[in-house]
Amino acid sequence: MTPPTVLTIAGSDSGGGAGLQADLRTLFACGVHGMTAVTAVTVQNTIGVTGIVEIPAHVVADQIEVVAVDIGVQAAKTGMLANAEIIVAVAGACDRVGIGKDGHIPFIVDPVCASMGGDQLLRDDALDALRTELFPRATLVTPNLDEVRLLTGIDVTDRKTQEQAADALLAYGPEWALVKAGHMRNVDDCVDLLSNGTDVHELPGPRFDTGNTHGSGDTLASATASQLAQGVAVPAAVAFGKRFIVRSVRDSYSLGKGHGPVSPFWRLSSESV
């Protein structure tokens, strides 16, 4: 049987923990066919990012268009987009193939700005392009708290500011905003907040005491995209993504000398070959 298809528009992490490698791993574990429009190649391990080569913007757009035309895309997500020119090209290509809230294909914009270790993955002057080019096209945006601060100026410290941040993000035009709580390290649990301005959903979850959360945002967004690709509504798709990431953080593992990755392998391990 042909599985549903999901396109990730993202950068490569040579260490295999985050970026398109995390996306493909997660999409596979969720039973969907993953496709990639590569935006950048990072020279990266568990310690940090030491180099970035950005892919020409027209090549990013072409990757989106060729897979959409031939294979078909049932949901799409973004990760690292590197620069404003790529963002503009992604917006144009998405419009041409129907990806986005005004087309028929659900579109998650994960506004990746930096790696877990703080290395910059998006040029400073590209923030505005994210807000103006991609947020209005997004079915769902999924910033972490550092990205919320950069995009809205709001410092999220509790449930009230989390909701304020969601409203500020929604003002840029996405249908839904998910304000992730992974970086709210002063609290014992990890409650993400999903809102479309009228429906507000708390997504509760435990906080595991681990530094091995490399790729957690990519994994959450990809697991959510796997559900949107099958016609699941946003709140249920995000609830699935949250359950998926909780198990994946629980089973995260140490690798190298820095931050190890979250692991979606739990989903594949119930049967022996």
Ligand X SMILES: Nc1ncnc2c1ncn2[C@@H]1O[C@H](COP(=O)(O)OP(=O)(O)OP(=O)(O)O)[C@@H](O)[C@H]1O
Ligand Y SMILES: Cc1ncc(CO)c(N)n1
Q: Find, among 65, 79, 46, the residue nearest to 225 by Cα.
A: 79
* C-beta atoms surrounding 231 within 10 Å: 11
DSSP 8-state symbol, 10: E
SS3 label, residue 163: helix
Residue 183, contacted partner among ligand X, ligand Y, none, CB below 5-8 A by kind: ligand X
Nearer to ligand X, 7 or 220 (CB): 220
Q: In this complex, which beta carbon is closest to ligand X, that of residue 58 or of residue 243? A: 243
Residues 6+ apart with CB under 8 A from 219: 22, 23, 25, 26, 244, 245, 248, 262, 264
Letters for 201-240 (x = contact with ligand Y by CB under 6 A, - = none) are --------------x-xx----------------------
Give start and end residues of each alpha helix (H) in the chain: 19-29, 57-70, 84-97, 127-129, 145-152, 159-170, 216-228, 234-250
Q: For ligand X, which stretch binds (CB under 6 A), given 67-75, 89-97, 161-169, 216-224?
A: 216-224
CA count, 13 A, side-chain hemisphere, 213: 19
How far apart are alpha carbons 151 and 170 in whole angstroms? Answer: 11
Q: For residue 19, state whether it binds ligand Y (rule: CB under 6 A).
A: yes
- Return the one option of ligand X, ligand Y, none that residue 242 interacts with (CB less than 5 to 8 A, by type): ligand X
Using alpha carbons only, how large is the chain's radius of gyration in Å? 17
Pick the closer one to ligand X by CB: 100 or 261: 261
d(CA 108, CA 257): 32
Q: Which range binds ligand X by CB under 6 A, 24-32, 91-99, 128-136, 212-220?
A: 212-220
Residue nearest to ligand Y (CB): 19
Instruction: Work out what residue 144 binds among ligand X, ligand Y, none; the CB cut-off runs from 5 to 8 Å by kind.
Output: ligand X
Q: For residues 63 and 212, which CB has a smaller minimum distance to ligand X in the complex?
A: 212
> Measured from the CB of residue 15, what is the shortest distance to ligand X in angstroms?
13
- What's the CA gap between 175 and 137, in Å, rounded? 8
- Interaction with ligand Y in 103-142: which residues (CB under 6 A)? 112, 115, 121
- Please give the structure tokens belonging to residue 49: 């990012």
Which span (25-33, 63-71, 122-130, 177-185) binds ligand X, by CB under 6 A?
Answer: 177-185
Residue 80 within binding range of ligand Y, rule CB under 6 A: yes
Binding site for ligand X (CB under 6 A): 18, 116, 144, 180-183, 190, 192, 205-208, 210, 213-218, 220, 242, 245, 249
